[in-house]
Amino acid sequence: MLRIIKSFSRRVLASLFGRKSTVKIGFYGPPNAGKTSLANRICKDWTGEEIGVVSKVPHETRHVQFKEKVEIKHKGKNLTFKMVDTPGIATKIDYEDFLKYGIKKNEAKRRAKEATQGIIESIQWLDDMEAVVIVLDATENPYSQVNITIIGNLVARKIPILIVANKIDLRKADIKKIGAAFPEYEIVGLSAKEGTNMDEFYEALFRLAKKT
């Protein structure tokens, strides 16, 4: 109900003042899917600076990080939004998984603790989100408990979503499989690392923002 009132008042204000106030868009997904890489790509394209550090080690982002105002001008249209990049959501965090990346035991345990804290933080921030971009790794099996739980909860909360199938530059990437897993949603395949298909992504982002 609160969401409907918020959305309605934003539309009224937008019609009165001729422009839409800033939309809050969250980037959610499992660890290492490329949320920060995509957020960095967008930030670099439109603000000139990055939002966070990326790494091959899972759970590199362990705190919610955001850019207050990102303005996108694409094909004559403008979109201003607050970008919220969140830590990857997982059902299990084990410090031993970090040891193979050369991280020392105590540091790995600290990383595991912070990653757990990060997941809680991500979920808490969901209450504030008006739209969500779900970033999935197109080389991974989309039928995971994490993906289904995240998407199921967003639908239950009536938050509009856009699914991004990232890492299409890799040979193992399979966008069709993601499409088959979540047929009701718009899916954009892209490579945040290479900057492939960003035009289509921005088009989809405009459509997503319109749904709020």
Partner 1 sequence: MPYRCVHCTKTYRDGSQEVLQGCTCGSKFFFYIKEEKLREITSQAPEEFELTPTEKKQVEEDVREIAGVTDEEMPVFLDFESIRIIKPGKYLLDLGKLFAIDKPRVYKLEDGKYIVDLAAKVKPN
Place of tokens 């197109």: 138
Q: How many CB atoms lie within 10 A of CB 31?
A: 21
Residue 167 · residue 191 · CB < 8 Å: yes
Which residue, 103 or 175, is less far from partner 1 as judged by CB? 103
Please give the structure tokens belonging to residue 211.
Answer: 């749904």
Q: Is 136 in the site for partner 1 (CB under 8 A)?
A: no
Q: Is 96 in the site for partner 1 (CB under 8 A)?
A: yes
Residue selected from 14, 53, 120, 170 as contacting partner 1 according to rule CB under 8 A: 120
Q: Of residues 144-173, which lie at the interface with partner 1 (CB under 8 A)?
A: 145-146, 148-150, 152-153, 155-157
Torsion of CA 137, 143, 145, 150, to 10 degrees: 60
Residue selected from 93, 134, 161, 162 as contacting partner 1 according to rule CB under 8 A: 93
Please give the structure tokens belonging to residue 25.
Answer: 């868009």
- Closest separation in Å from C-beta 205 to partner 1: 23
For residue 11, how many C-alpha atoms fall within 13 Å in the half-sphere facing its CB?
A: 10
CB burial string 143-172: b at 16+ within 10 A, e below: eeebbeebbeebeeeebbbbbbbbbbeeee
Q: Is 89 in the site for partner 1 (CB under 8 A)?
A: yes
CA dist., res. 47 & res. 58, Å (int): 26
Phi–psi pair at 107, nearest 5 degrees: -65, -40
- Closest separation in Å from C-beta 19 to partner 1: 26
Which residue, 146 or 190, is less far from partner 1 as judged by CB? 146
CA dist., res. 108 & res. 25, Å (int): 31
- Of 3-11, 20-28, 119-127, 163-171, which part binds partner 1 (CB under 8 A)? 119-127
Site string for partner 1, 33-72 (x = CB under 8 A): -------------------------------x--------
Q: Is 91 in the site for partner 1 (CB under 8 A)?
A: yes
- Closest separation in Å from C-beta 105 to partner 1: 8
Which residue, 136 or 205, is less far from partner 1 as judged by CB? 136
Footprint of partner 1 on this chain (CB under 8 A)? 64, 89-96, 108-109, 112-113, 116-117, 119-121, 123-128, 145-146, 148-150, 152-153, 155-157
